[in-house]
Amino acid sequence: MADNHTLNAALRRDIAEPSANTAMGWGSDVAADMLRRIGVRYVTHNPGSSFRGLHDSLVNMLGNDDPTMLLCLNENQVISIAHGYGKVTGEPMACILHANVGLLNGAMGIFNAWADRVPVYIVGAGGPADAERRVPWINWLHTSRDQASYVRGITKWDDEPRSVGALVEAMYRANIIARTAPKGPVYICLDAALQEDALSEQIDLPPASRFLPADAPIPSPDSLERAADLLVSAKQPVFLMGRVSRSQADWSNRIRLVELLGAGVITDLKTAAAFPTDHPLHRNIGYHFRTAIDDVKSADVIVALDWIDLGSAMKMLPAGERQVISASVDSYVHNAINMDCYGLAPCDLPFQVEPDVFVRHLLPVIERKLAGKSRSPLGVALKPVDRPKMVAGEARLEDIGWALQDARSRHKVTLMRTPLGTSPDVCHFTDPMDYLGNDGGAGVGSGPGNTIGCALGLLGGDRIAVGVIGDSDFIQGATALWTAAHYGIAALLIVSNNRSHLNDELIQMRVAKQRGRQPANAWIGQRIEDPDVNIRKIAEGYGAEVIGPVETTEALGPAIEKGLALVKAGRICVIDVHVAAGSPSRLAEYKSEPEKAS
C-alpha cells in the first residue's frame, strides 16, 4: 500500500524587501507583468546583465512572487528544470537566458525540450541593438544580429520585439504557440534598451482571457467510421502507444478502447507511461522497437498513437498485409534543419489530430459497433508483477530497478528518468504519473535538472520525484542540486555509477571486432577512473544529502528506503550506487546496425 502524504507543501522562496516604487514605469515592468498574466509561476535563470531590467521588475515590482525567480548555476539546468516541470504539468515554465552566451550554453536543454515536445517559455536578452547605446567591449561581444537564429531550428517560434506594444503581442503569441500541440519551446529576445527605457505613457494591457489556445481539432466522423471498421474487422490489432497525455481520463479511455478490441499494446521507454504494464493486453516495453518485433509482426491493423520514429519501426517488420492508422500532429513542427521528423511512415489512414483526442472520439464509435461488448476475455487477472530477482553480491543496474520496484509498492513514486540500459523487467507502471520518459534529445547532463523540475511540478502533491541516472549524466548536471537545496525542492537521484561512458565503450568494442582490431582497447577515452569522480563530495558541496557509495545488492533496499525518507522530510538526496561494469543493453549494438526488416 502506497504511503500517501503531502510533499513540499510550499517552496522556500527568497523574500524580497518591500520596494517604495512598484508602479509600472519601464519596459521590463511590462514584460514581468505579462509573465504573471499568462500564468507563469516560476522563472529559472542564471544571472546576466542583459536582463537586469527584467530582473529588477520581477523582484522589486512583483515582489518575487508569481512568478518566483529560481537561481540556477548553469544555463543548461535553467532549461532542464523547466523541461522537467513541463513534463509533469503540461504547462510552460519560464526561463531567462543571458545574451548570446547564455543562449548558446542552454541550447542543449532547448534541444531536449524541442525533441520531447514539451513547452518551455524562454525569455532572452541582448544588445542594446542601437550601437550608440553600447558600452565598450562587452555589449558588442554579447550582441548578435538575429540572436534567435542560434536556436530557430529547435524552437517553435521566436521574436525580438522593438516596442512595448510589440512586446505584449509577442508574449501572448508565444504563450499560445508553446501550449498548442505539438507543444515546445518558444524564444523571445528582449533588447536591453527596450527593458530599460521609461514608459512614455500609461499602458493598458489587454486581458489574457482573449489570447488563449484554441480547442484541439477533432477527427471527421467519416474518418472515424473508417478507422472503426478496420479495427472491428481486424483479427490481431496492435496499438503502438507513444507520446500521449498525463490525464487520468485519457489513460482510462486508452484502456477501455484496447479492451473493447482485444488489441495488443506496445509502449516505449522513451516516452511517458501510456498503458498499464501489468495489463494482460500489454505485450512489450523498451527503448528500442526491435525488442517488440515478434509482438507486432502478426498484426493486421496497427494503430500508432504519436509513436516516435514510426517509419523505422515499419521497416523493421517483415513483409505482410497490414493496415496502419496513425494519430499525430507532430508533422506541424517538422522542419528542414532537424531529422526528428524520422523516416516517412506508410499509413493507410492518417489522423492529423492529437492521439488522445483521436481515442476520445473513436471510443464511442467502437462501442456502438460492438454494442459495448468487449472482445477481451472477462475476468482475466492482471499480470503479476515479478518480485525482485536480485543476486547477492556486486550491484548491477537491473538491481537498482528491482530494489526501486520493491520500494514503489510502499511509496508513491514518479520515475522521472531511467538509463538506456534499464531492463524492461523492472519497468512496471500502473498510472499515467508513474513514469515520465526520457529527455527527448538523448544527450547527457539533463537528468538532475529534469528530476528537480519534476519535483517542482509535483509540489504540494503526494508523489516523490525519483530519477535513476548514469554517472556521466550526474557529473554534467550536478549544479542543479544547489537549486533544489536552496529552494527546498525535494527529490531523489539514484546514480548508477559504472565509472565509464559504458554505452560508448561497448560501441567501440563492437567497431574494433568488426574491423578485426583489438576490442580490449575500447576503454581508452571512455573510463572515468584514475581518479574516480567523488559523487559524494560533489553532491554534498551543492547541499544534497548523500547515501553511499552503495556497492552490494543487499545494501540497495535500505539505501533507497532511507533516501525516500529524506525526501519526505523535504531534502534533495543522492544515492551513489557503484554498479558492476557490463553491457547496459543491446542499444550499443542497435546503434551500429541499420534498421532493416527481420
pLDDT in tens, 142-199: 999 999 999 999 999 999 999 999 999 999 999 999 999 999 999 999 999 999 999 9
**Residue 460, pLDDT score:** 92
Instruction: Give CA separation, 225 vs 216, 306, 359, in Å.
Output: 20, 20, 13
Three-state DSSP at 196 gives helix
Q: Please tell me the distance from the alpha carbon of residue 117 to that of residue 110, in angstroms, as a whole number.
A: 10
For residues 485-507, average pLDDT = 94
Q: Please tell me the distance from the alpha carbon of residue 445 to that of residue 86, in angstroms, as a whole number.
A: 18
Assess contact for 353 and 329: CB atoms under 8 A.
yes
Q: Please tell me the distance from the alpha carbon of residue 581 to that of residue 153, in angstroms, as a whole number.
A: 38
Q: How many CA atoms lie within 13 A of 54 on its CB side?
A: 37
Question: What H or E segment, with its residue span, contains residue 303?
Answer: strand 301-305
Model confidence pLDDT, tens digit, residues 364-388: 999 999 998 888 875 555 666 666 6
User: Which numeric CATH code is attached to 27-210?
Assistant: 3.40.50.970
For residues 18-42, average pLDDT = 97
**Residue 285 pLDDT > 50:** yes
Assess contact for 459 and 414: CB atoms under 8 A.
no
Burial of 540 from C-beta contacts in 10 A (0-12 / 13-18 / 19+): middle
**Residue 439 pLDDT > 50:** yes
Model confidence pLDDT, tens digit, residues 50-62: 999 999 999 999 9
* Average predicted confidence (pLDDT) for the chain: 93
**Residue 18, pLDDT score:** 93
Neighbours of 217 (CB within 10 A): 13
**Residue 598, pLDDT score:** 41
**Residue 4, pLDDT score:** 44
In the chain, CATH 3.40.50.1220 covers: 221-369
Neighbours of 555 (CB within 10 A): 16
Residue % of the chain over a pLDDT of 70 = 93
Residue 219 CB partners (closer than 8 Å, separation 6+)? 327, 351, 353, 357, 358, 361, 362
Three-state DSSP at 451 gives helix
CATH topology of domain 397-591: Rossmann fold (3.40.50)
**Residue 584, pLDDT score:** 52
Q: Euclidean distance between the first and final Cα of the chain, in Å? A: 43
Q: What 8-state DSSP symbol labels residue 39? A: T
In the chain, CATH 3.40.50.970 covers: 27-210, 397-591
As its CATH architecture, domain 221-369 has: 3-Layer(aba) Sandwich (3.40)
**Residue 420, pLDDT score:** 83
* Model pTM score: 0.95
Assess contact for 356 and 325: CB atoms under 8 A.
no
For residues 203-232, average pLDDT = 97
Is the torsion defined by CA of 388, 392, 398, 400 positive or negative?
A: positive
